[in-house]
Structure 1
Amino acid sequence: MNLIVRNIAESCSAEEVREFLKRELGHYAKHIEVVDAGKPSAYATVELNAEVPYVGDVIAREIHGKQLHGQTLEASADLFGDEPPAAH
């Protein structure tokens, strides 16, 4: 199961995003990939260390609305894992 995090500030480096998500998610974060860091289309996918779908939803709700570099993050659980995030 993956977590998709969108609305990442252009001022954030990929490393800053990874560190923030590692700190926020702790042991639930198996692997974090940041795509297009420094661009308006930046997003991150987090492979979650959880097999039960509702855990991903709970984690997404915890991250959704948090601030990183003054930008409010948007997060959602991706039950299928390999789907690209929806464009907005």
Structure 2
Amino acid sequence: MEPGSIEAIRERVAAGLGCSIVPSMAVTAAHHRCGLEVQPLAPELSRTPGLVLRQDKPVGVGLRKVVEALEGLAQSRSGAPSGNSGR
């Protein structure tokens, strides 16, 4: 099964239909933990976000600003220039 929302996942786990790994923010409120046993993961999981743009579509001003902000964030975290997205 592949439920489409965190709420659906929590409900199915609380009903005894399985277990799941969800972001901690999905179970921080006490009412979100009702019927669940919450265990932290050790070591913590992390992921690297990616950005995919179509080559055949022009990048508008708004999207360009978002891309530049993400590239700046990537550079500040790694200390190295990020790869060019081929625009």
TM over 0.5: no
- Say which structure is richer in helix: 2
TM-score, with normalisation over the residues of structure 1? 0.25
Tell which has more relative contact order, 1 or 2 (C-alpha 8 A, sep 6+).
1
Q: TM-score, normalised by structure 2?
A: 0.26
